[in-house]
A and B are shown apart, each in its own frame.
Chain A
C-alpha cells in the first residue's frame, strides 16, 4: 500500500524557516517524481514544487521561488521542503503528492502538514 506521511509543520514567525519531510512507503520511491502542493485555510490547492526521481529536474511556483528548496533522499525514501523567509501567506496545509504519470497524475497524496506563519 502506498503511503506518504508528512511531518515538520508548526508555528513559525514571519521571516523564519521550517523544514517539511515526507516519508514514502509501498513503492519504489526513486522511480517517481514528487511534488509539494499547499492549501491555505479555506482556500484552494496551489502547486508549490516538483522534483524528479534523480533530482535532476526541479521546478517551483513563482510564489516560492528563491525562498523554498525541494530535495529528496532516495536512500531514506524521503522528500523535503526547506522553507525560508516565511510570510503570512505561506500559512497552509502542505501535502506531498506523487506524480504517478507524467505530466498530470498526482495519484497519491499524504494527509498534510500544517504550517502557520504568525507573530
Chain B
C-alpha cells in the first residue's frame, strides 16, 4: 500500500522561509504524480494552493511555491505570515484511478 509522507509538524518564524515536503514510502515523487497542495485551518474546508507541481491556484500569493526537490515534492513559503499557521496537505495522483493524500503537516508560525 502506497504511503505519502509529510513532516508531522514544522515551525517557522514570521518573515522566514519554510519548505514542507511530500514523499513516497517507496520510490520518488516526480511531476508524473501531479503533486498538489492544500491549506486547511481548523473547522474549515481545504483551500487549493498549488497543483501540477508548481502552478499556483487563483488568488494564492506568490510567496507560496511548489517544486520537486530531490525525490520529493515541496511547498515553500517565503516570508511566512501569522495567518499561514495551518495544516498543509499534499496529494499525489497514482497514475490511473486513485489519489493518495499525505498525513499533513501542522505549521506553526512563531
Q: How many A-B residue pairs have CB under 8 A?
A: 63
Distance in Å: Cβ of B80 to nearest Cβ of chain A: 22
Choice from A47, A101, A107 contacting B91 with Cβ under 8 Å: A47
Taking a contact as CB atoms under 8 Å apart, the answer to whether A104 and B91 are in contact is yes
Scan residues 54-72 of chain A and give those whose CB is less than 8 A from a CB of chain B: 59, 61-62
Distance in Å: Cβ of A106 to nearest Cβ of chain B: 6
Taking a contact as CB atoms under 8 Å apart, the answer to whether A45 and B36 are in contact is no
Scan residues 4-49 of chain A and give those whose CB is less than 8 A from a CB of chain B: 35, 37, 44-47
Q: How big is the A interface, by class?
A: 20 to 34
Choice from A47, A59, A105 contacting B48 with Cβ under 8 Å: A105
Q: Provide the residues of chain B in CB contact with A37, threshold 8 Å.
A: 101
Number of interface residues of B (CB under 8 A): 25
A80 at interface (Cβ–Cβ under 8 A)?
Answer: no
B64 at interface (Cβ–Cβ under 8 A)?
Answer: no
Q: Give A104 to B87 CA distance when docked, in angstroms.
A: 19
Choice from A97, A105, A111, A112 contacting B57 with Cβ under 8 Å: A105
Taking a contact as CB atoms under 8 Å apart, the answer to whether A95 and B51 are in contact is no
Distance in Å: Cβ of B52 to nearest Cβ of chain A: 6
Can you list 27 A-B contacts (CB < 8 A)?
A37-B101, A44-B101, A44-B103, A45-B40, A45-B104, A47-B98, A47-B99, A47-B100, A47-B101, A50-B99, A62-B1, A97-B46, A101-B52, A103-B34, A103-B93, A103-B99, A104-B34, A104-B36, A104-B93, A105-B57, A106-B38, A106-B48, A109-B46, A109-B47, A110-B45, A111-B45, A112-B45
A binding-site residues for B, Cβ under 8 Å? 35, 37, 44-47, 50, 59, 61-62, 95, 97, 100-101, 103-107, 109-112
